[in-house]
Amino acid sequence: MDSKKNSRLLTKVAVLYFENSLSHQEIAERLGLSRQTVGRLLRRAKEAGIVRIEVHSPSLYASELEFELEQAFQLLEVIVISPPTTDDEAVKRTIGRAGAEFLQRRVRNKDIIGVSAGSTTMYQCAVRLKPAHLPELTVVSLNGDGPHSEIPAHLGSIAHRMGSALGGKTIVLPAPTFVDRVEIKESLLSDSNIAEIIQLAYQANVAVVGIGAISEKASPYQHGFVDQRLLETLKREHCVGEICGHAYNLDGELCSPELSGRAVGIDLTSLRSKPLSVALAGGRHKLDAIWGALQGRYCNVLITDEDTARALLKRKTGA
């Protein structure tokens, strides 16, 4: 673990223990660590001078903000990053790196990790995973990951990249993200091979997803899955976000039977039952989409940027 990541984890453990009065066991459960590891990290935090009478660290403000968001939205964990600039690509890269670090800390051999396709932030996470050896781990697509002429080649390889980096096996859903008509989807789902893969996606104990905003800049529109007519319909129906091809409103309620009817993959509500459902998303233009995902409880872990995190907390508390 490099010094920056080490300092960040030491700080987070120290804040949870000394500032928020969580026990070793509570911290271990929250961060996916053993009690012994928590104890060692607290000792190292003292030795490093992070803990004296109070917690001292450049990452302190983020740790406190993370805890406030965890409490406000009843999340298992929040990771708040500070990208070098507010440029959209810089935000995606930094969130992707934090997502990779989170997965390397939390995933275990024999886990089944379901990943969403077509997200540029998810891709940034996949390419930043460090090599691991988890031969009994499985990475499976949560939604269609098949070829489409408008999709950049790298976006179709997120599951493969994650599985390869983690040293496990990869199972990709051989279908498009969206099909033209509901009848085509029903036909695909009747195929035993596709049905078996989707069933495995439902069984995944870890889900990692990107969150899309409903706009001309979103991947479904950019890749040709959503035309101008449907986009305008989604806006009239007050849809604000999309996960795995399913659109929802500010309250987290599904709001486009047409889009969901064409999306090949898991039902969005199944994310609520995952032990770990991790959302990677940031940027103020995605504020409503992230808010709706939190209201719908489609994730219990959020990795986002500081500006978005503060805006979410302000909206939640009315401060």
* 73 and 193 both lie in a single domain: yes
* 67 and 33 both lie in a single domain: no
Burial 17-44, CB ≥16 within 10 A → b, else e = bbeeebebeebbebbebeeebbbebbeb
* 283 and 193 both lie in a single domain: yes
Cβ–Cβ under 8 Å, residues 145 and 173: yes
- The rounded distance, in Å, linking the Cα atoms of 175 and 186 is 12
Picking from 42, 58, 74, the residue at the C-terminal end of a domain is 58
| Mean pLDDT value across residues 146-171 | 76
82 is in which domain, residue-wise? 62-317
* 153 and 97 both lie in a single domain: yes
The type of residue at 282 is G
Confidence of residue 67 (pLDDT cuts 50, 70, 90): very high
Q: What is the pLDDT of residues 19-62, one digit of tens each?
A: 888 999 999 999 999 999 999 999 999 888 888 754 445 554 58
* 186 and 288 both lie in a single domain: yes
Q: What is the pLDDT of residues 283-318, one digit of tens each?
A: 999 999 999 999 999 999 999 999 999 999 999 998
* 67 and 205 both lie in a single domain: yes
* 40 and 182 both lie in a single domain: no
Separation in Å, CA 171 to CA 62, 74, 144, 189: 36, 32, 11, 16
| Mean pLDDT value across residues 54-83 | 83
* 182 and 44 both lie in a single domain: no
Confidence of residue 149 (pLDDT cuts 50, 70, 90): very low
CATH number at residue 23: 1.10.10.60
For residue 269, pLDDT over 80 is answered with yes
Between 156 and 108, the more confident residue is: 108
| Mean pLDDT value across residues 200-213 | 97
Number of structural domains the chain divides into: 2
- The rounded distance, in Å, linking the Cα atoms of 272 and 295 is 11
* 48 and 88 both lie in a single domain: no
Picking from 23, 43, 58, the residue at the C-terminal end of a domain is 58
The helix (run of H) or strand (run of E) holding residue 198 is helix 192-203
For residue 123, pLDDT over 50 is answered with yes
Between 53 and 105, the more confident residue is: 105
Q: What is the pLDDT of residues 214-227, one digit of tens each?
A: 887 776 666 666 77
For residue 150, give the DSSP letter: T
pLDDT of residue 20: 87
For residue 147, pLDDT over 60 is answered with no
Residue 114, classified by CB atoms within 10 Å of its CB into exposed (0-12), middle (13-18) or buried (19+), is: buried
What proportion of the chain, given as a percentage, has pLDDT over 90?
71
Picking from 58, 74, 105, the residue at the C-terminal end of a domain is 58
* 123 and 202 both lie in a single domain: yes
CATH number at residue 70: 3.40.50.1360
Tokens 């029903």 label which residue?
186
* 15 and 149 both lie in a single domain: no
pLDDT of residue 157: 81
> Taking the complete model, does pTM exceed 0.85, yes or no?
no
* 17 and 139 both lie in a single domain: no
For residue 152, pLDDT over 60 is answered with no
pLDDT of residue 5: 66
